[in-house]
Structure 1
Amino acid sequence: MDSLARHLLALHRRGLLRGALGLAALGALPPARAQPAGGGAALFRLGVASGDPWPDGMVLWTRLAPEPLAPLGGMPAAPVEVGWEVAEEERFARIAASGTALARPEGGFAVHAEVAGLQPGRPYWYRFRAGGEASPVGRTRTAPAPGAMPARLRVLNAGCQHLEHGWFTAWRHAAEEEAIDLVFHYGDFIYEQAGRQPGQGGWGPPPVRQHAGGEAMTLEAYRRRYAQYRLDPDLQAAQAAHPFLCSFDDHEVDNNWAGPVSEEDGGARHPVAVPPEVFALRKAAAFQAWYEAMPVRRALLPRGPEITAFRRLRFGRLLEVHVLDTRSFRDDQPCGDGSGPPCAAVARPEAQMLGPGQEAWLLDGMAASGARWQVLAQQVMMMRRELPQGRLSMDKWDGYPAARARVLEGLAARGIGRAVVLSGDVHNAWAGQLHRDPLDPASPVLATEFTGTSITSEGDGAEIQPSTPEILRRNPHVAFFNDRRGYTLHEVTPDRFEACFRAVARVSRPGAPREDRGRFLLEAGRPDRLLRA
C-alpha cells in the first residue's frame, strides 16, 4: 500500500474520511488536463469516460485506483465521496452541472454519475475531484433534441482489443477524430485468457505485452484485467475524448459462452463440462466487473449472473440505435461450435440468438421508431459468410439461421427499409448486404451490414488473407474485405449513411499512421444499393 492509501486509511480510522474528501472547495483547484497513464493524479490513474448520451445528459465514469493492479485498486475498504463538474467550455469558467457520488468498495470504487439538465446536441467538458486531487478532463456530447433533424452525425464502431496482440494505436487515432457523437464499442474490451509469454505458442501472434495473471474467473481477477487495459494511454485518450456506447461480447466473460453455457460445454472440443450453476458464479463476477468498468447507467447493474444490456439511444429524428445482446439469451452453438459444414442442428426452427423477449423488443421498437435511419448495434456477423469447403462459423448468426430469418422477415413485415447492422468479433472489416433469402442473391435486400475490424486482435494482419478470393466468390453479397486493424467511422445525414474503414499498418509496434482502406455509402430509399464512395 502506498502513502496515499495509508493516509486515507488513517483518516477512516479517525472517522474523518468523509469530511476529508468533502468537496466544499471543488472549484479551488486548477483545471486538470488529460495525461498519459501513470502520469496523472494518483487516485485517477484509470482515467475518465462518458457514455449513453441522452439529449439532457450522459453517464460520467471514473474509478479510484492509486494501485490499479492491487486488490480494490489499492484503496482502503471505506466509501469515498467524489465530486464531479460539467462545464460548457474547457476552462471550466461556466459550470453547467455539478454534484457528488459515493465510490464504494463493494463496487470497486467506480463512479457512475448520471448527469441531467444539460442542453441537447452540444459538447461539454467534465472532471472529477477526490482527496484533494483532480482527474484528467474529459470531453463528451449530448444527443440531439428528440424532434431535431441533425444535418450530420458521426459514429465510430470499434472493439476486440487484445492487449497481448498489439498496441492500441487505433484508439489514439480515434481520440483525434473531431465531433464524434458516439463510439459504439461492440465488445471484447478485455480478453479473459491467461498471460502468455513469447515462444509459448497459443492463439494469435507472439505477444508484444503480457496479461497480468492467469485466466480471469473471479471478481478480483476481472477487475485487475480491466485495470490493466485501462492503464493504456491510447485507450484512455479515446474514452476521454468521446461518449461511448458500450456492449459486451464473449471475452468479457469466457470465449464463445452462450446463455447459461460455458465454452466448456461437454462437447467434443471441451469434453469436461462446467455445470451451468458453476458458470453462473463466473458470469456474476464478470458482469459486475464489466459494469464497474463501463460508462453505463444504473439500469444495467447486473443481478448476479443476469444483466439487461439491450437498450436504445435516439439521436433526434435522424438515427435510432438499438443495442443488442447476442450472448445472454442464445442457445448453445450447434455442431460442437467452431466452424465446419452445417449439421442438422443448424436448421432447427426454434433457434434463438436474441431470445423471444429481446427479439420482440427489437422489432416492435423499430416499427414504432420513425427515425430516418435505424441501426442494429450488435456483436457478431449477421450476414451469411460461407467459408471454404462450405464451412460456417457456428458462433455467428450463420449458426442460427432461423433466428436471423425471423429478424429479417420482421423487418420486411413492418416495412423497415433503412436498417443498418453494425458488428465486429471476426477481426476483419467487411461490408455487405442481407438478403431476404441469404442463398438467393436475387431476393430483396433488407439491411446492410458494416463489420468493424479489431483494434489489435490477431496482430498486424494484411490487406487480404489466402482464403479471401474464395470467400468473396462464395458470398456475392459481400462488397468489401480488409484484414488490417482499426475502426469504422460512419457519417450519417438524412440522405446518406457512409462507412469509412480506417486502419493502421501495424500494431506490433506503436505509432503507425492512420490509413483509409475503403469507403461505402447507402442512399436513403435505396437499401438495395451499396455504393463505393
Structure 2
Amino acid sequence: MPDHEHPLDRRRRLFLRDAVLGSGALLASAQTMRAHAQNSPAAPAVITSERLRPQLPGGIMSGDVTRDRAIIWSRSDRNARMLIEYASDESFRDARRIEGSIALARSDYTARVELRDLPPGRIHYRVRFQDLTHSSAISEALQGSLVIPDVADMGAGKPPRDITFAFSGDEAGQGWGINREWGGYRVYEAMRRFKPDFFIHSGDQIYADGPIQAEVKLDDGSLWRNVVTEAKSKVAQTLDDYRGNFAYNQLDESKRRFCAEVPFLVQWDDHEVRNNWYPGQVIGAAEKRYQERELNVLTARARQAMFEYNPFRIDSSDPHRIYRAFNHGPLLETFMLDERSYRGANSPNRQTGGADAAFLGSEQMRWLKQSLLRSRATWKLIASDMPISIVVPDLNPDVPQGTFEAWANADHGKPSGRELEVAELLRFIKRNRIRNVVWVTADVHYASATHYSPERAQFNDFDPFWEFVGGPLNAGTFGPGEIDRTFGPDVRFVSIPADMKQNRPPTDNYQFFGIGKIDAKSKALTMSLHDVDGKELFKVELPPAA
C-alpha cells in the first residue's frame, strides 16, 4: 500500500487492477496456463525464485465431500490461477489436471474448484498457483488427500467399508491462540491420528470478538505466548478483520497438516460474528468496543469471510445458505444445521409459539424433516451448533438477566420457547419411524455424552436418542452447565470436574473432540470422546435399530 493511502482508495486501486488482470492479462496468458494444466510440452519453464513464485499461506483444504464430488480450497498471496492435479494413487499416474478459480484481491486471494465424477476411495490431489502476470512463475505444489464415500448398495457385491468421522468446535477463544511452545493447536494432530474420513467443525471457527495478546500470565506465574497478528489485536468489524481471523488459525502447522488430509464440513455459531448474536440485533451502549453496532452489517461481512475461507459448495439458488446434507453412502448421512441465521431474539425463551420462538426457522425445519424422511442411510447424524439440554445464559453486558442463548430455558417443564422446535422435530422422527438419529454439537467448551429418554421427560412423544458434545479445540474451558430436564436427559459423561475454575487454559489439557466409527459389517456406531492428546475418556457402542 502506498504511504498514507486511504482504505477506500486502496480498494478502488485493487478493483481496477483485478479488472485489468482478470481480462487482458488473463486472456493473454490463457493458452500457456492451459498448456501447463495439461502437462503439454508447450508448458513454460517454471521460475524457481521464491520471490517471484506465488505462496500458499493458508495451506490447502478439502470439504463438502458427498457421493462423487469434493471442493478443493487454497489461498495465494497474489493474483494467480489455481491449478489442480488429482489421481486415485499417490504416485499421480494418469492424473487429471484442471484449472480452478482465479485468486484475486476481491476474494482475499482465496480460490477453489469442485472435483466431480470421483471414484470411491482415497483421492490424492496437488495444488499449485500460477502468477497471472508472469505465467512461468508457478508455486510449489502442496499435496493432500480425501476419501470419497462408496454410495453403492452393500448388496451389490462390493466389500463393506467402515466410516470414521471426528467432531469438535471452539477455536482461538478467550485469548488462547497459537502457542508454538506448547505445540500449537495440538488437538488437530491428535484427531489426525484417527484418520477420519471427514471432520465436522461445529462452529466458533474463529473468535471475531476475542482479541489475542502476545502473552497471558497463567496461575502458576508462567507465560502463555501467543502468535499475534494485526487482525487478532481487536474485535472484528470490517471484512478484512473477519478474513484476518480465519487466516490466523491457518498459521498453525497442526491444523494445516490436518486440513490437507481430512475434509471439513463446516457450520457456524456466534463467535464467527459476535458473542450470542441474533439477526436484527443492535449492540447496546454497554459494549464499548464496537463502532459498527448493527449485527446485520457485521453478519454479512463475517459470512462472506467464512465462505471465502472454507471449502463450501455454494448453493446457486441460495448463496447464503449454510445448512445442508451430505450422503456418505448406505451407512451414514450428515445434516448440518444453521442455528444463527433464522433464530428469533434471545429472550427468557418461554414463548408458546410464534416467530420469536424460532431457532431453526420454518424453512430449515421443513428441509430437515424432508431430508430425514428421504434418507436411506442406516445412521442419521444431526450436527447442531448448540446442545439441546445444557442451559446457556446470554451474559452479554447489553442484555437483561434471565436471557437464554440456546434451546433450553432452565424451567425443566413442558416445552416452551425454542424447545417447541425440538419437540416438533422429535415427534416427527418418532411418528415417521426414522431410526438411528444421533446428535453431535459443541459450543459449551467441555465434552459430554447424554442419553435422552421419554420415560424421564416432561415431553414424551419421542424415541430415545444420544447427544455428544465436543470441544474446545483450542479455547478456554468452561462448565459444566446446568441441565434442563424437559426432554429427559441422563448425562452419562462429563469431561471436567464439577468444581473446576472457569476459563482454563489449554495447558490444563481440557481440550476435547469426538470420534464416531461405523462398522460396515455390523452397522454398529461407536462414539467416543477424547482429550487433547487423543486419550479415550468415554465410549459407547450403539447397535442399529431395525
TM bin (shorter chain)? 0.7 to 0.9
Cα separation, 2, equivalents of 1:52 and 1:498: 23
CA deviation profile, 1:507-530 (whole Å, cap 9, x unmatched): xxxxxx43221111211129xxxx
1:489 partner letter: I
Alpha carbons 1:23, 1:129 under 8 Å: kept: no
Structure-1 residue corresponding to 2:172: 162
Alpha carbons 1:412, 1:446 under 8 Å: kept: no
1:482 partner letter: S
Alpha carbons 1:288, 1:302 under 8 Å: kept: no
- 1:396 pairs with 2:412: no
Q: How does 1:327-346 map to 2 (within 5 A)?
A: 327-335=340-348, 345-346=349-350
Q: How does 1:327-476 map to 2 (within 5 A)?
A: 327-335=340-348, 345-350=349-354, 351-383=357-389, 394-399=404-409, 400-436=418-454, 439-440=457-458, 445-458=463-476
1:382 partner letter: I
Cα separation, 1, equivalents of 2:454 and 2:279: 27
Q: State the TM-score, normalized to the length of structure 1.
A: 0.77
Change (3 A) 1:55 1:302: closer
Alpha carbons 1:430, 1:481 under 8 Å: kept: yes
Structure-2 residue corresponding to 1:529: none
Structure-1 residue corresponding to 2:140: 134
Q: Percent identity?
A: 22
Structure-2 residue corresponding to 1:61: 73
- 1:192 pairs with 2:208: yes
Query: Which of 169, 180, 198 is the matching residue for 1:182?
Result: 198
Alpha carbons 2:380, 2:437 under 8 Å: kept: yes
Structure-2 residue corresponding to 1:237: 257
SS of the residue 1:260 aligns to = coil
Higher mean C-alpha deviation, range 158-167 or range 419-428: 158-167
Structure-1 residue corresponding to 2:530: 502
- 1:225 pairs with 2:242: no
SS of the residue 2:531 aligns to = strand
Change (3 A) 1:285 1:471: closer
Change (3 A) 1:221 1:151: same
Structure number with the higher strand fraction is 1
Structure-1 residue corresponding to 2:33: 22
Alpha carbons 1:260, 1:328 under 8 Å: kept: no
Alpha carbons 1:347, 1:401 under 8 Å: kept: no
Alpha carbons 2:458, 2:485 under 8 Å: kept: no
Change (3 A) 1:290 1:22: same
- 1:296 pairs with 2:312: yes
Alpha carbons 2:454, 2:460 under 8 Å: kept: no
- 1:478 pairs with 2:499: no
Cα shift at 1:471: 6.2
Change (3 A) 1:279 1:300: farther
Number of residue pairs aligned between Structure 1 and Structure 2 = 463
Cα shift at 1:429: 0.6
Alpha carbons 1:194, 1:214 under 8 Å: kept: yes
Cα shift at 1:431: 0.7
Cα separation, 2, equivalents of 1:333 and 1:359: 19
Which segments of 5 or more consecutive residues in structure 2 lack a partner in the other structure?
A: 3-16, 42-49, 132-137, 178-183, 394-400, 410-417, 497-509
- 1:171 pairs with 2:188: yes
Change (3 A) 1:413 1:115: same
Structure-1 residue corresponding to 2:109: 109
SS of the residue 1:49 aligns to = strand
Cα separation, 1, equivalents of 2:89 and 2:452: 43
Alpha carbons 2:449, 2:494 under 8 Å: kept: yes
Cα separation, 1, equivalents of 2:317 and 2:461: 42
1:25 partner letter: H
Q: State the TM-score, normalized to the length of structure 2.
A: 0.75
1:129 partner letter: F
Change (3 A) 1:105 1:354: same
Cα shift at 1:309: 0.8
Cα shift at 1:196: 4.1
Say what the alpha-carbon RMSD is for the aligned residues. 3.8
CA deviation profile, 1:268-323 (whole Å, cap 9, x unmatched): x76999998x32221111111100000111227986xxx21111111111111111
Alpha carbons 2:167, 2:440 under 8 Å: kept: yes
Structure-2 residue corresponding to 1:71: none
Alpha carbons 1:433, 1:445 under 8 Å: kept: no
SS of the residue 2:385 aligns to = coil
2:526 partner letter: E
Cα separation, 2, equivalents of 1:486 and 1:321: 21
Cα separation, 2, equivalents of 1:243 and 1:63: 16
Change (3 A) 1:443 1:57: closer
CA deviation profile, 1:193-250 (whole Å, cap 9, x unmatched): 252434699xxx9864145331111111111121111111111111101111111111
Structure-1 residue corresponding to 2:10: none
Cα shift at 1:423: 0.5
Alpha carbons 2:457, 2:489 under 8 Å: kept: no
CA deviation profile, 1:59-100 (whole Å, cap 9, x unmatched): 0000112xxxxxxxxx3xxx5322111122223223145334
Alpha carbons 1:82, 1:129 under 8 Å: kept: yes
Query: Which of 276, 299, 318 is the matching residue for 2:331?
Result: 318
Cα separation, 1, equivalents of 2:277 and 2:440: 21
Alpha carbons 1:376, 1:420 under 8 Å: kept: yes
Change (3 A) 1:46 1:123: same
Alpha carbons 2:168, 2:201 under 8 Å: kept: yes
Cα separation, 1, equivalents of 2:484 and 2:186: 29
SS of the residue 1:155 aligns to = strand
SS of the residue 1:477 aligns to = strand
Cα separation, 1, equivalents of 2:23 and 2:70: 36
Change (3 A) 1:442 1:458: same
Cα shift at 1:14: 13
Higher mean C-alpha deviation, range 289-298 or range 485-494: 485-494
2:469 partner letter: T
Cα separation, 2, equivalents of 1:370 and 1:217: 43
1:185 partner letter: H
SS of the residue 1:299 aligns to = coil
Alpha carbons 1:170, 1:455 under 8 Å: kept: yes
Cα shift at 1:175: 2.4
Cα shift at 1:25: 2.9
Cα separation, 2, equivalents of 1:283 and 1:298: 17
